[in-house]
Amino acid sequence: MLKYTLIPLLPFISFIINILFGRNYIKDKAHWIAVPAVAGSFVLAVSAFFDVLGGHDVNINLYSWIASGDFTVSVGLLIDQLSAIMLIVVTSIGTLIFIYSIGYMHGDGGYYRFFAYLSLFVFSMLMLVMGNNFLVMYFGWEAVGLCSYFLIGFWFHKKSAGDAGKKAFIVNRFGDFGFGLGVILIYLTFGSLEYMQVFDKAGSIAGQTINLLGYDVSLVTLICLLLFCGAVGKSAQIPLHVWLPDAMEGPTPVSALIHAATMVTAGVFMVARCNPLFSMSPVAMNTVAVIGGLTAIFAATIALVQNDIKRVIAYSTVSQLGYMFLALGVGAYSAGIFHLYTHAYFKALLFLGSGSVIHALHHAGHHDEQNMQKMGGLKKHMPITYKVFVLATLSITGIPFFSGFFSKDEILWRAYLGGDLGKFLWFLGALAALLTAFYSWRLIFLTFHGTFRGTHEQEHHIHESPPVITVPLMFLAFGAVFAGYVGVPPIFLKHGDKIGEFLAPVLGHPAGHGTHAEEIFVILVSIAVAVGGWLIAYKMYIKSTELPQKMENRFQWIHKVLFNKYYIDELYSKTLIHPVLKASDKIILGFDTYVIEGIVNGVPNLIGAFSRKFREIQTGMLSNYALVMAIGAVCIVGIWIFLK
């Protein structure tokens, strides 16, 4: 039992030590505490994974957190197949990124603070995935959001970073509001927050409705949609995706760990965890699938024209998260989790690779270190980074027998089987895959091929990053290539879908069966779009490099819309942020100035004015005092005599 408790506790201890003693004592040795802690978690997580593999699930209550009448909540850990996979993903990628950060953050003034927050994040994320009830999940959910806020705004002296942190936090609030309501509704409905009890009773509420603003709404649909609100916020789906690209203001390891591999997938995990509820509501499932499909294509189109290397990858993340929700929505929960798992490796690798590029350019004195238009030809200067980047790109674009191929193909295949809506979503997914291939290769070609578009002086100073950065990249590259082999589709290898079988006790088997011919057709389409995307990118950025400019001039307004991200930020600014700010101004002027400050300042002013009058009694004139004394004495005597 201690073993399981230690998994989240080790990073937490690292956080406590670093945050308390980091500033004065530990300073630039913070990693000596943080890295062993998270590596220890990883070892324990692997051991827990094998326990689960051996059929030994864990469901323990550590202590009673809240006990108020009928309402009891424990802090408890649940390690089943689903959380075991999440544990492996979080701790393995966490360990590699912690090591990478030693090199990347070297010499930063907030070194200890970085590792403290990163440790706190790992603790929160582990609590999120390991909790055995909704409140512990909610705790982890909010805590990872808090850490995300801390780390996006890590370089808080930059205004854009502070703004991005606030944006992430506030946008997430919209989603979390729904999530919180969902948790409350679950408690009101089931009288418990424990997963096992809730899911056991889930069948009993089928067909129940709840009156909402005069409409009868299916209870389970309402619960699922409220929970999904939280997932939309945390996993950056339409319409709350706006925070994730801005979150790239944070240090690159943060983007890799929090905004690619783990935290943003919390929404996927949560929907998968609640699959007994979601499966009961076709409306909610279709919502999830459609939002996912639309996000996948929507974010991919934006990524086509962005020039900031991290923003391209960020939109790619949004798009891939869309894929995962697409899978969940068509009932292929294990495919969604499978993609979560493979995506974590290749996307973390892409981010860390871009971090390696940014790091090198920064040290070469490049001032526009994230602008791909100012890069080029880095292949010969950074051979290791280039190679791992290519491997990650092969994986994400779904080139056969790289891990992304297996998971993406599984999703597309499951979507294809999902009826008319499924076919439509499959089409969206395949189109998004084409775009993914295009922008991923565009990124590689702009960054690593061609000639360097900065100054000679800068080019002279570009060097490959140190081993502390490149070695984690190589490990991740291994994961990016081979992680998918746990889920080989049965068409290639009988009983190859190990991960699907492994997750089946929690997530069930996806419905729908198709013929071999159909499956081969879907696979061929996937391969075709992956190669097609590469060909288009090759044509535009290697063969005839003047073509992008021509296309930009030709389709100017499309480019403008895409480049400005469909003006969503501007729309929100006009319709939401501006009116709220204006109304707040009014409130400050009217209510705050006159009412609140009126009370706050009025009371002391009144007392002051009163005492100013009252203290004039103290004239300092002896005879006045004597007179008062005499009058007083006369009065006392008078009263004494006349009342006697």
Interface residues with another protein (CB under 8 A) are 615-623, 626-627, 630
The least distance separating another protein from the CB of residue 630, rounded to whole angstroms, comes to 6
Nearest distance in Å: CB 604, another protein: 18
For residues 330 and 424, the answer to whether their CB atoms sit within 8 Å is no
Cβ closer to another protein: 514 or 632? 632
Q: How far is the CB of 66 from another protein (least distance, A)?
A: 57
Nearest approach, Cβ of residue 609 and another protein (Å): 14
Contacts (Cβ under 8 Å, ≥6 apart) of 3: 44, 47, 48
The full DSSP string for 225-263 is HHHHHHHHHHTT-TTSTTHHHHGGGS-HHHHHIIIIISG
Nearer to another protein, 621 or 641 (CB): 621
And the tokens for 482? 């081979």
Question: What is the rounded CA–CA span in Å between residue 412 and residue 293?
Answer: 11
- CB 640 to another protein: min, Å: 17
Looking at the Cβ atoms of 204 and 611, the one nearer to another protein is 611
The amino acid that residue 544 corresponds to is: S
- Residue 506 has which token pair? 């929690």
Q: How many CB atoms lie within 10 A of CB 28?
A: 15
Backbone φ and ψ of 216, nearest 5°? -85, 120
Within 10 A of 521 (CB to CB), how many other CB atoms are there? Answer: 14
Q: What is the DSSP letter of 192?
A: -
Q: Which is nearer to another protein, 528 or 626 (CB)?
A: 626
Provide the minimum distance between the beta carbon of 617 and another protein in the complex, in angstroms, as a whole number: 7
SS3 65: strand
CB of 614 to another protein, least distance (A): 8
Q: Distance of CA 422 to CAs 132, 166, 328, 329, 331, Å? A: 33, 37, 12, 9, 11
Which C-beta is closer to another protein: that of 1 or that of 617?
617
Parallel, antiparallel, or unpaired: how do β-strands 209-212 and 215-218 relate? antiparallel
The minimum distance between CB 611 and another protein, in angstroms, equals 9
- For the chain, how big is the Rg over CA atoms in Å? 30
Closest CA to 234 of 355, 132, 134, 143: 143
Please report how close the Cβ of residue 613 comes to another protein at its closest, in angstroms: 10
Looking at the Cβ atoms of 546 and 616, the one nearer to another protein is 616
Residue placing its CB nearer to another protein in the complex, 528 or 628? 628
Considering beta carbons, is residue 2 or 617 the nearer one to another protein? 617
What's at 375, amino acid-wise? M
The token duo for 304 is 């086509």
Q: Which of 558, 387, 411 is nearest to 470 (CA)?
A: 387
User: Residue 498 phi/psi, 5° resolution?
Assistant: -60, -40
Q: Distance between CA atoms of 369 and 583, rounded to whole angstroms?
A: 39
- Residue with smaller CB distance to another protein, 603 or 627: 627
Both structure tokens of 435 = 């775009």
Residue 532, classified by CB atoms within 10 Å of its CB into exposed (0-12), middle (13-18) or buried (19+), is middle
Contact 56, 80 (CB under 8 A): no
**Minimal distance in Å, beta carbon 603 to another protein?**
22
What phi and psi, each to the nearest 5 degrees, are found at residue 210? -135, 140
Q: Does residue 255 contact residue 248 with C-beta atoms inside 8 Å?
A: yes
Which of 591/625 has CB closer to another protein? 625
Neighbours of 263 (CB within 10 A): 26
> Based on CB atoms, which residue is closest to another protein, 577 or 631?
631
| Least Cβ distance, residue 631 to another protein (angstroms) | 10
Residue 456 or 615: the one with the smaller Cβ distance to another protein is 615
Determine the Cα–Cα distance for residues 375 and 453; give it in Å rounded to an integer.
Answer: 5
List, in order, residues 6 or more apart from 194 with CB less than 8 Å away: 76, 132, 133
In Å, what is the CA distance from 374 to each residue of 4, 12, 369, 452, 453?
48, 41, 8, 7, 5
Contact between 252 and 355 (Cβ < 8 Å): yes
Angle between helices 333-363 and 266-273 (to 10 degrees): 170
- Based on CB atoms, which residue is closest to another protein, 601 or 624? 624
For another protein, the closer of residues 580 and 627 by Cβ is 627
Looking at the Cβ atoms of 580 and 634, the one nearer to another protein is 634
